Structure formats: C-alpha cells, structure tokens
Amino acid sequence: MYENVALPLRLDGRRVKRQVVMEALRQVGLEDKAGRRPAQLSGGQQQRVAIARTLAAEPEIVFADEPTGSLDRSTGRQVMDLLRRAVDKAGRTVVMVTHDPLAAAYADRVIFLVDGRITGKIDHPTADEVAVELSRWEL
C-alpha cells in the first residue's frame, strides 16, 4: 500500500518522502497496513488508500466520486472531515459526486443534476435540505 500511495508522487517526478506517505496513511487510519497489497484490503480500506493518495499528492483540485460509498458511517465521517480540512486548511477545491445527503452536507455548495441537467443548487446545505431535494427526483 505504501507504494500505491507513493506512485502518483513518483509519476509527477517528485521525491517521495516516507513521512509524507506514512502521514497520509495515518490520517485515513491505515498506517499499520502500509506493507499490504491492495488485494489484501477490504473495499473500504481500498477506498481510504485512494484518499491517502490524494492527501500525499496535494493536488489543487480533488475529484471524489462517492468517497464514502464503501465505508461505515464513522469512517465516512472521518474521510469527509479530511476532505473538508483539505478545503479549509490547505485551500484545495473538492468536486464530489454523491447520493449521500450526509456527505453532501459537508459541501459549500450542492448542485443537483438530473439527466445531465442542473435542477437545483443549495449553498451551505444541511443533510435534511439535500434529502428533501433528492426525494423530489426519486422514481
């Protein structure tokens, strides 16, 4: 897993610092699994490795597709807190796709899409506001 997190840094021609990779793994609760291979991890752990890769690479824009989809509620909150800190403390932009009102409530702005069209927007949403809007479009 260590190599999996370090790979984007190498591909970008950056020097890999062990402490940076290990800190990213620590932040997602996987530092004790640094020597494991992806096939030895659960789906939720693999999803957290992807978040660790992002934390280590420090991109200006993070694209997150259902970042809490394979996670239990507690771990999902931890991941959303990490993404929120990436925005608030590190000045990154996070573009997230989710059907989870709790995850969407971490956003500064939620844009609703139905069949490729924008159908609504909410600034600084609550989970309840997102759920109400989503329920309007359920089939």
Q: Contact, 54 vs 6, CB < 8 A?
A: no
Tell me the pLDDT tens digit for each residue of 6-25.
999 999 999 999 999 999 99
Sign of CA dihedral 78, 104, 106, 60: positive
**How far lies 43's CA from each of 48, 63, 70, in Å?**
9, 19, 6
129 in any annotated domain: no
Query: Residue 8 CA to chain centroid, in angstroms?
Result: 16
102 in any annotated domain: no
Task: Tell me: pLDDT of 100 over 60.
Answer: yes
9 in any annotated domain: yes
Instruction: Give the per-residue pLDDT at 38.
Output: 86
Tell me the pLDDT tens digit for each residue of 41-95.
988 899 899 999 999 999 999 999 999 988 899 989 999 999 999 999 999 999 9
Could you give the number of structural domains in the chain? 1
Q: How far apart are CA 111 and CA 130, in angstroms?
A: 10
Instruction: Give the per-residue pLDDT at 139.
Output: 55
139 in any annotated domain: no
103 in any annotated domain: no
8 in any annotated domain: yes
- The residues pairing with 123 across neighbouring beta strands, listed in sequence order, are 109
CA atoms within 13 A on the CB side of 66: 7
47 in any annotated domain: yes
Q: What is the CATH classification number for the domain harbouring 50?
A: 3.40.50.300
116 in any annotated domain: no
User: What's the domain range around 72?
Assistant: 2-97
